[in-house]
């Protein structure tokens, strides 16, 4: 590993970054996180990611032991310490060390961990040819159980769907909500194009309020592409002219096949290509 880790106020090599086995982030997935990217030495959408991190923490009654500005500064300092111009940042806040019981009141000070390293979710050829996906049988968490807008350390719901994708021999899976509506994929938001209009599921369908998703919506609006957020089903996926996924790690990547059905002409479409170019121009600006 060539990255660095900020932990307990210090920046160390990955081999020196340790937490207690009694940390409730490890024992129960009790904590929150953010995935962020740095391009050309600049952290992209840092304020938006930090705001979402603190919103996630507040939603689970977790008090982050440092102000937002200090968190932003620590993130930037950790990136600089790696010497990397382009990097992936994983920012984690756990409930802290406690006992073997569930009670969060028994936990000590929350742990703040910032990991800066490299990430490659998909090979380069997948961005040229597009992905194949399947629909997972695993239902997305109910919003009134564990709201998907919270980026919690408990990602078992997504992991079970990812296992389904692995067993089907594809890299991603579409997740549906309890009503059978399209939500998102295991790690990315989803967009469809039909008759030149861009569609993506609404937040209330039970999805992460993705920062890359919102960036793509802004870019589409600037390009004069109509954007709608209606309820979507698998039918909408199957008849789409184009489909693509968005996420901090994946950026923008086309989907050309879903549940063994070819989407559109089976190749990444022109609107997907246009938005990818605009996105790359933005992050490098």
Q: Is residue 55 classed exposed, middle or buried when 0-12, 13-18 and 19+ CB atoms within 10 A define those classes? A: middle
Rounded to 5 degrees, what are φ and ψ at 227? -125, 130
b or e along 102-133 (b: 16 or more beta carbons within 10 Å of the residue's beta carbon)?
eebeebeebbbbbbbbeeebeeeebbeebbbb
Residue 151 known to be catalytic:
yes
Count of alpha carbons within 13 angstroms of residue 267, beta-carbon side: 4
Which residue in the list 151, 162, 194, 257 is annotated as catalytic? 151
**Contact predicate 245/237, CB 8 Å:** no
Place of tokens 């996180």: 33
Sheet holding 31-39, edge to edge: 10-12, 4-7, 111-117, 87-94, 31-39, 42-43
Closest alpha carbon to 172 in 122, 217, 114, 215? 122
- 47-247-255 Cα angle (round to 5): 160
**Contact predicate 148/183, CB 8 Å:** yes
User: What kind and span of H or E run contains 31?
Assistant: strand 31-39
Q: How far apart are CA 244 and CA 227, in angstroms?
A: 14
Q: How far apart are CA 199 and CA 243, in angstroms?
A: 9
Q: Which residues are catalytic?
A: 151
């Amino acid at each position: 590993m060539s990255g660095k880790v900020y932990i307990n106020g210090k920046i160390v090599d990955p081999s020196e970054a340790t937490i207690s086995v009694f940390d409730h982030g490890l024992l129960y997935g009790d904590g929150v996180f953010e995935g962020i990217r740095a391009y050309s030495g600049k952290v992209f959408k840092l304020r938006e990611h930090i705001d979402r991190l603190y919103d996630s923490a507040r939603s689970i009654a977790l008090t982050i032991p440092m102000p937002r500005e200090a968190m932003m500064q620590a993130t930037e300092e950790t990136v600089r310490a790696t010497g990397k111009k382009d990097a992936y940042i994983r920012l984690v806040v756990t409930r802290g060390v406690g006992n073997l019981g569930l009670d969060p009141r028994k936990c000590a000070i929350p742990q703040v961990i910032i990991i800066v390293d490299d990430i490659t979710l998909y090979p380069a050829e997948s961005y040229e040819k597009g992905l194949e996906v399947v629909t997972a049988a695993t239902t997305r968490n109910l919003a009134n159980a564990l709201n998907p807008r919270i980026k919690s350390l408990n990602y078992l719901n997504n992991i079970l769907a990812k296992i389904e994708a692995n067993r089907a021999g594809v890299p991603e899976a579409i997740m549906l909500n309890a009503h059978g509506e399209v939500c998102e994929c295991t790690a990315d938001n989803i967009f469809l194009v039909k008759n030149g209009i861009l569609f993506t599921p609404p937040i209330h369908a039970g999805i992460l309020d993705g920062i890359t998703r919102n960036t793509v919506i802004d870019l589409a609006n600037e390009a004069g592409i109509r954007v709608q957020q209606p309820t979507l089903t698998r039918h909408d996926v199957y008849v789409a002219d184009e489909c693509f996924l968005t996420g901090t790690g994946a950026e923008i990547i086309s989907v050309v096949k879903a549940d063994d059905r070819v989407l559109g002409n089976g190749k990444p479409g022109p609107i997907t290509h246009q938005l990818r170019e605009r996105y790359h121009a933005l992050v490098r600006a």
